[in-house]
């Protein structure tokens, strides 16, 4: 499996990842376990999910994908073999949304609990939050790296925001938070 370095400081990851957005939606737990095992057996050890997956399904509240992956990690004992990525920021209900520092701290703890792990390899902002300064968001992300809750972080920057090169700002502030940024349009 071809691999590349994630950003400048992250781990080597396969050029594709297994997306967990269907876990708890169109793929139920037993099939998800089979898919995760098969992916790992094939050398695909990069798994991506988000706290919001699969909130859009009737009866779901979000976190279903992370919960299934967490159960698989606990059952298989393969946490050390997986590069685990998840995201924060999309509306989870009850005012749970965005990228304010307090919410990031709460959301990462919720994700860690659902994933049944004590660290996330790549913690990402799912989308930009125009109501929160990038400095607040990046400071919160940096704190997660320093606490050992995440190895790498990524923030999607929407064109038109204040910092066109947020990773340079992160470096100038001594933040460890950004190892990879992507620039997207709205």
Among residues 53, 103, 119, 123, the one annotated as catalytic is 53
The three-class DSSP label of residue 27 is strand
Residue corresponding to tokens 């695909």? 44
The three-class DSSP label of residue 104 is helix
Asked if residue 138 lies in contact with residue 124, where contact means CB atoms within 8 angstroms, the answer is no
What strands, in cross-sheet order, belong to the sheet with 178-184? 18-19, 46-48, 83-88, 120-125, 150-158, 178-184
Burial class of residue 156, CB neighbours in 10 A (0-12, 13-18, 19+):
middle
The answer to whether residue 103 is catalytic is no
What letter does residue 81 receive in the DSSP assignment? G
Structure tokens at 29: 């737990």
Listed in order, strand segments (DSSP E) in 8-93 are 12-14, 18-19, 46-48, 83-88
Q: What is the set of active-site residues? A: 53
């Amino acid at each position: 499996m071809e691999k590349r370095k994630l950003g400048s400081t992250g781990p080597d990851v396969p050029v594709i990842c297994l997306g967990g957005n269907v876990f708890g939606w169109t793929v139920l737990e037993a099939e998800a376990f089979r898919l995760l095992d098969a992916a790992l057996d094939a050398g695909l050890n990069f798994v991506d999910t988000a706290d919001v997956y699969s909130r859009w399904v009737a009866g779901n509240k979000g976190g279903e994908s992370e919960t299934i992956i967490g159960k698989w990690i606990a059952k298989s004992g393969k946490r050390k073999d997986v590069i685990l990525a998840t995201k924060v920021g999309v509306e989870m209900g009850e005012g749970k949304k965005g990228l304010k520092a307090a919410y990031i701290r709460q959301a990462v703890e919720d994700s860690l609990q659902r994933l049944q792990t004590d660290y996330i390899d790549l913690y990402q902002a799912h989308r930009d939050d125009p109501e929160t300064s990038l400095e607040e968001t990046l400071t919160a992300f940096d704190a997660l790296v320093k606490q050992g809750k995440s190895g790498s972080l990524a923030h999607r920057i929407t064109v038109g925001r204040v910092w066109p090169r947020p990773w340079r700002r992160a470096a100038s502030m001594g933040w460890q938070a950004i190892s990879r940024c992507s620039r997207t349009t709205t």
